Amino acid sequence: MKKFIGLLFIPVLALFSFFGCSKDKSAENIKTQYTSTIRKYYDDDIEKNIFFADDTNENTVKIYYPSSIQARIDITNPTNNMQKMYRGLYYQQVVLDKIYKYYEMTQEDFYTKMSSKGSDKSIGELSTQLERLDRVLDEFKVSYNNFLDNQEMEFNVTSYSFALNKVIDVSFDFIYNYIRLYEKNCRSTTGVYTSDTLQIDLYKSYVDVAFIVYKENIKAFTYSVGENGICDLSPVVKSSSTFNILDKLLGSCTLSLDIANGLNNADNAETLDKVNNYYYFKSVFEQRLVNYKQIYAEQDIYTITRYRFNLVNGVDYDNYLNSLSISQRSNVTMLDDFVANNFNDYYNKISAIVA
Amino acid sequence: MKFWVKIVVALCVVVVIVFGVWAFFFREKDVVKAYNQTTQLVDYKESLGLKERLVELSKMDYLHNEKTRKIVGNNAVNNEILNIRKDCLSSELIVGYDEHDVVIYSYDSYFIVDKTVDDIIRFYLPYTRGTYSSNTHQKNLSNTIKVYIESLSSLDKTIDNLIACQKEITGEDTAEMDALRGHYNQLYLKYRNVLNKSSQVMIALTDYINVSLYGGKMMADSRIALYDCYARALKVATSKDEIRKEVETLYLHDLHMIWDKMDKVRNGIDIYDSTYTEYKFLTGFNALFCEYRKSYDLIFDKVNLDKRQMADGEKLSDIVEKAKEPVIVLLNVLGF
């Protein structure tokens, strides 16, 4: 009987070993996986990334059609709906740019330090997220190809934009996990500010800025559900609504020379004051963000956004808020308050230290 | 024991165990308890319609439903009634002057303070869903909410009685006016009590949020810091055992100073300068709030003159050494 029970344990042990080991990924594996995944952003035929940024002119969106036709759309001052839609695409691309900028700037340090630690289970999750990103990029490429096949530019941009949102969602999951690992394993704990660490934290801040702008101004607009959904970004692009924070995406990512030099001079109280303020409000923002995410997930953000941007005839935002119960109203007000105060305070403190 | 009795007993035991297990798994979790109770409080207060009736009462400056029978200050009783009406119901800032027409104090009526309290409690409401364990703070919050609700209920009845009395009497009899004065005195005491209990709710809320949401390491922003100062100043202004009007007035004056800073922050006006920066104020506030609570409470207990001297770095002997600098910064930012 004992032998029989002992025999039963062998396959169980084997299963444990198999699943346990398979999750151990080395940093080198992740690096390779990332490179092959990110390669999907590129179109081999044109040797360009599949987004529509124009390398030569940032004010235009450039589309390469398979028939070697190139289309350029000026998005500087969008006046018609099509230009506004493409301006929306441009903002989505900026969001992705902010996300991957952090990765690009830290990857070398990350892989060097993580490799020296050997295989680590904690980075297994990164691998899973990259697998998800890989799948979403495959889906996205279908939208991309459909977009190019069907040359009705205005008609097709909505589904393309919606597919791009899925890529952005998965990219945020990936980058926030990556940031958590990077800060846990690769950051010095001396607490002394240097221009290098400050610059990396700034990249993190721009991921945060992109996250809030995406949640508030992009995601809800490009969410499409039948006739009731908000189909494209044209209502928010160039709108004068106080809820429009798209311009926050276009900020610089570079630490100003004054602040960088000031850090080396211990007597420079003004620099330290600005840097301390930045770090303090970064902490406040990160604390409140947890609550924002929780409430955001519980609210019907698509309905809220429609009222915020006056897309519902006859009912303005204040009337909409008054129609809610007090507790619901408090929750929605908290979302607005988070952006108007915590996010804005954070952004203002960033602005004080960048060039 | 008969067989069927044993069966019944066994079944009862099973039912009790199943019920116990069910109650354990489906009990109201601590995480939502504070949120639910605060929501109930907000909804309850709204359902009472206090604000509407107080506005109605503020417009009712006459007797017996006759607008021509105005209450005029021609005797001590009427003056007392009018003063209480001003202190409780006025929608404008109440200002006091000395003999040279120099402003010596200014404060908000209870009605305005109450509106500010509502704003603050509604601001805190979405933050009451923390996940850290905080049983003590949760119980404290529950108790303060319960007591606050009782005080609101009592005020509600007082307003009903007062309005009924004022509508009924003609004012032609001294006894009638004495009775009305009694009702107004009740309004004053009950409203004062409501504000005192509300301050305890606000303090309990910040303590609960600090522990349950931020694990005891809350980083305050300017609004939270000022709201907490406001709650503590209100508690002191309304909790002196022996109510002496002139003392309360001065504490309410200090309360209005904090309100003024809150209003500026809400409207994006900078309240800091190069000496007393936002960073110094907030880090100082965090230190007082988390580590030097006794010193922090002590500030608001002091009268206005003492606060001003403390802001100048004097009379700090009661303050812990490490808390002295934060106290000075805090008082200066608050305007003392």
Nearest beta carbon to residue B282 from set A280, A295, A341: A280
Distance CA B318, CA B292 (A): 12
pLDDT at A15: 47
What pLDDT was estimated at residue B7?
A: 79
Distance CA B324, CA B317 (A): 9
Question: Rg of the Cα trace of chain B?
Answer: 25
Encoded amino acid at B117, one letter? V
Highest mean pLDDT among A173-177, A222-226, B299-303, B329-333: B329-333
- Enter the ipTM: 0.85
Nearest to B297 by CA among B210, B209, B203: B203
Burial state string for A199-238 with b = 16 or more CB within 10 A and e = fewer than 16: bbbbbbbbbbbbbbbbbbbbbbbbebeeeebbbbbbbbbe
CA B219 to chain centre: 22
- Decide: B292 and B303 in contact? Cβ < 8 Å: no
The chain B residues in contact with chain A (CB within 8 A) are 39, 42-43, 46, 122-123, 125-127, 129, 213-214, 218-221, 223, 277-279, 282-283
HEC letters along chain B: CCHHHHHHHHHHHHHHHHHHHHHHHHCCCHHHHHHHHHHHHHHHHHHHCHHHHHHHHHHCCECCCCCCCECCCCCHHHHHHHHHHHHHHCCCCEEEECCCCCEEEEECCHHHHHHHHHHHHHHHHHHCCCCCCCHHHHHHHHHHHHHHHHHHHHHHHHHHHHHHHHHHCCCCCHHHHHHHHHHHHHHHHHHHHHHHHHHHHHHHHHHHHHHHCCCCCCCCCHHHHHHHHHHHHHHHHCCCCCCCHHHHHHHHHHHHHHHHHHHHHHCCCCCCCCCCCHHHHHHHHHHHHHCCHHHHHHHHHCCHHHHHHHHCCCCCCCCCHHHHHHHHHHHHHHCC
| B43·A326 Cβ contact <8 A | yes
Q: CB distance A287–B214 less than 8 Å?
A: yes
What is d(CA A163, CA A55) in angstroms, rounded to the nearest whole number?
23
- CA neighbor of B45 nearest in space, from B125, B139, B108: B125
Task: Establish, for the pair of chains A and B, how many residue pairs have beta carbons separated by less than 8 Å.
Answer: 54
pLDDT band at B139 (very low <50, low <70, confident <90, very high): very high
Which of B121, B133, B112 lies closest to B45 in space, CA to CA?
B121
pLDDT reading at B144 higher than 60: yes
Give CA–CA dist B129/B32, Å, rounded.
Answer: 6
Beta bridge partner(s), residue A72 = A62
For residues A61 and A160, the answer to whether their CB atoms sit within 8 Å is no
> Which chain B residue lies closest to A273 (C-alpha atoms)?
B279
pLDDT of residue A52: 62
CB A37 within 8 A of CB A133: yes
Least confident of A148-157, A166-175, B217-226: A148-157
Instruction: Look up tokens 């230190």; give the residue.
Output: B287
In the prediction, which pLDDT does B243 show?
A: 63
Q: A299 versus A118: which is more confidently predicted?
A: A299
Q: pLDDT-based confidence at A24, cuts 50/70/90?
A: low
Contact A291 B129 (CB under 8 A): yes
Which residue, chain included where needed, has tokens 């009790």? B16
pLDDT computed for residue A162 by the predictor: 83
**Across A35-44, A46-55, A214-223, B72-81, least confident range:** A46-55
d(CA A232, CA A215): 14
Instruction: Report the alpha-carbon distance of residue A100 to residue A203 in Å, rounded.
Output: 10
Least confident of A36-50, B6-20, B76-90: A36-50
pLDDT average, residue stretch A177-186:
90
Q: Is the pLDDT of residue A151 over 70?
A: no
Contact B221 A341 (CB under 8 A): yes
d(CA B84, nearest CA chain A) in Å: 31
Give yes or no for residue A204 having a pLDDT over 90: yes
Residue A16 has pLDDT above 80, yes or no: no
* Residue A342 with chain B: CB contacts under 8 Å: 221
β partners of residue A63: A71
List of chain B residues whose C-beta atoms are within 8 Å of the C-beta of residue A334: 123, 125-127
**Which has the minimum average pLDDT: A71-85, B211-225, B261-275, B292-306?**
A71-85
Residues of chain B found within 8 Å of residue A276, distances taken between Cβ atoms: 279
Q: Which residue has the higher pLDDT, A151 or B228?
A: B228
Which is it for the CA torsion B223, B229, B235, B240, positive or negative?
negative
Contacts of B214 in chain A (CB under 8 A): 287
Dump pLDDT digits (tens) for B152-196: 999 999 999 999 999 998 878 889 999 999 999 999 999 999 999
What does the pLDDT look like over A294-332, one tens digit per residue?
Answer: 999 988 888 899 899 988 888 899 999 999 988 889 999
Contact B34, B128 (CB under 8 A): yes
Q: How far is B30 from chain A (nearest CA, A)?
A: 17
What angle (nearest 5°) sits at the alpha carbon of residue B296, between those of residues B291 and B297? 125
- For residue A283, list chain B residues with Cβ-Cβ distance below 8 A: 219
- Best mutation target among A275, A287, A348 (most B Cβ atoms within 10 Å) is A287
Tell whether the model's pLDDT for residue A288 goes beyond 70. yes
| Average pLDDT value for chain A | 81
Which one of A64-78, A101-115, A148-162, A200-214 scores highest in mean pLDDT? A200-214
Would strands A48-49 and A60-64 be described as parallel, antiparallel, or unpaired?
unpaired
